[in-house]
Chains A and B, each alone.
Chain A
Amino acid sequence: MNLTMLQKKEKTPAIAWALRVPSILFLILIVVVPVIVIFQDGFREGWHEFWYQVNLPIARHAIRLTLYTALIMTLINAVMGMITAYVLVRFDFLGKRFINAIIDLPLAMPSLVTGIMLVVLYGPQQSLGNFLLERFNFRIVFAPTGIVLALLFVNFPFVVRTIQPVLEGLDQSQEHAAETLGANSWRIFWKIIFPALVLPVMGGSLLSFSRAIGEFGAVVIVAGNIPLKTQTAAVYVFSQVESENRLGASAVSIVLVLISFLVLWIANSIHKVWRTS
């Protein structure tokens, strides 16, 4: 392998460089430069100012709301994703293929359209939304519940699609053995199936968490833009750009980017551990 590569390199350095230079250049220009610019802008007045901007009550509330809704979404998504994958792999029922196809729908749906769909169904002026509000005083749209719902929609496929192949590849003879020995299905799930799913579920969940933190299109429609109430960090950045508070926008952007990178890095490490084990 190494030898052939060496020979190839010696033979065609020109072509290799013709491929290499534009590739790296394009990657750096498109991806790296913008990221550097935002860090440079956020810290241009020093750490102190950055910290001040992040700690403004509205900004702090927005960041906290973002983390909190993303966390709730991640937990629900992990549980429901696991159940959905289990049902799709282990049971046969009418309409299963339709359900299986529906799961990919959020991947293809533009997030703005997602937000509009949720408002049309659950908005206060609509029949179902109005019913929930009047009868149970349960507000979905323009409330944190709506944010969680939007994030759930957008991130639904991630956990399901990570677990499905794992469940399919699981050796069922262990389960049968346990069943023969008299274990009930609850125990079989916790002792045999669940341990195999832990790492993939965690990886998929963290991936969806990092995406949820930055979600904008669906959230801005469903949550509205009410500071200290339903304004998430991404929407906060948007409103600060509109009102030309550059420092505030940059500071919160940096926080968002850092959290996403950190979570993504953990997700990748988990994925690596899972693959090697």
Chain B
Amino acid sequence: MMNRRKVSFGSLALILSVLLYLCLLIIGPVIALISGAFESGPWLVIKSLTSPVLIKAFLLTLRIALLVVFVQTFFGTMIAWFFVRHEFLGKAFLNGLVDVPFAISPVVVGYMLLLLFGRNSPLFPLLERINMRIAFASSGVFIATLFVCFPFMIREMIPVIESLDRGQEFAAATLGTNRWTIFWRIIFPQLKSGLLYGMTLTFARAIGEFGAVFVVGGGVQGRTETVTLFIFRCIEERRHIEAYSAALLLGLFSVTIVFFADWIKRLQLSKKRISLLEDSLI
């Protein structure tokens, strides 16, 4: 497939320049963070990673990210389904709206929610009456994260739903199966791997969110302080080892789950290709 040329001077220079660029831009900084965290030995890293404030922040992050994933799995799939299977006026416009969160700066997202739910908002007295706080509360952090993660599930599920084999659905319907059984027995198994991938991407994005969460939540220690906000506070207070250790943990966590999801997706794809090959051979 690939045409192996003689390694000429020009191509060697190209390869080396790419390697150098990647070292300066990505690999170097990653190594620097690892060595920065372990600068004063592993004990300090372990000590900072087990500090109760960090654990509390980590639990909050986890709780919010899981909730966002849960809501987006449901609504995201529903919206994706609706875009693929239904025709209606203004579909292209609504479809464009889905990508809006990608285009808006996280700071602006947080600020929008502050305007919408904050003290100066017309909604504020209403929220006060039902005793609900959103600005500078964990529910605000949740909404901000939801906004930022909104497109991932939808964009992942649309091609999956488009590629569903409708013949099976029609066959089952002809045989008198009800919609519920069709969904669980025929549609859901085909959606599973796409769902898993979309959930992972959403989760990874959710635990790493910083700007929006900072503006709307304010980073109140113990109440709205997520892991990223904890790291930022450590940097501000010049507690470098703690900041580096927590950043390393967060980065490692996020990268691991995304790469794991990628690996599963590729596995699934190659399996599908093999089964297609077998079908064609038969």
Contacts and interface: CB of A to CB of B under 8 A. Distances in A.
B33 A117 contact: yes
Contacts of B116: 33-34, 37
Given A34-B113, A109-B208, A237 B108 contact: yes
B207 interface: yes
Nearest to A89: B2
Contacts of B165: none
A120 B29 contact: yes
B28 to A, nearest CB: 5
A83 B107 contact: no
B160 interface: no
Interface in B90-105: 94, 96-105
A250 interface: yes
Top-3 shortest CB links A-B: A214-B105, A110-B208, A117-B29
Given A19-B81, A38-B115, A101 B259 contact: yes
Nearest to B143: A30
Given A90-B2, A214-B104, A234-B105, A153 B26 contact: yes
B163 interface: no
B22 to A, nearest CB: 6
Interface stretch (A52-60, A197-205, A252-260): A252-260
Interface string B174-191: 000001000000000000
Contacts of A90: 2-3, 11
Interface string B52-96: 000000000000000000000001001101100011100000101
A110 B111 contact: no
Contact of B251 (A20, A109, A118, A246): A109
A238 B211 contact: yes
A223 interface: no
A174 interface: no
Contacts of A104: 258-259, 262
Contacts of A117: 29-30, 32-33, 247, 251
21 contacts: A15-B179, A16-B86, A19-B82, A33-B116, A38-B108, A38-B112, A108-B254, A109-B251, A109-B255, A110-B228, A112-B231, A114-B29, A117-B33, A120-B29, A120-B32, A153-B25, A153-B29, A211-B102, A234-B107, A234-B211, A256-B108
A70 B111 CA distance: 22
Given A41-B115, A112-B247, A241-B215, A257 B103 contact: yes
A30 to B, nearest CB: 6
> At the interface, is chain B mostly helix, strand, loop or mixed?
helix
A221 B208 contact: no
B105 A216 contact: yes
Given A5-B87, A102-B26, A237-B107, 10 more contacts: A30-B146, A30-B150, A37-B112, A102-B22, A102-B27, A216-B106, A217-B211, A220-B211, A238-B107, A253-B111
A116 B247 contact: yes
B197 interface: no
A215 B106 CA distance: 8
A100 B200 CA distance: 20
A23 B75 contact: yes
B25 A149 contact: yes
Interface string A115-132: 011101100001010000
A111 interface: yes
Nearest to B150: A30
Contacts of A110: 207-210, 228, 250-251, 254
Contact of A111 (B96, B114, B208): B208
A152 B164 CA distance: 37
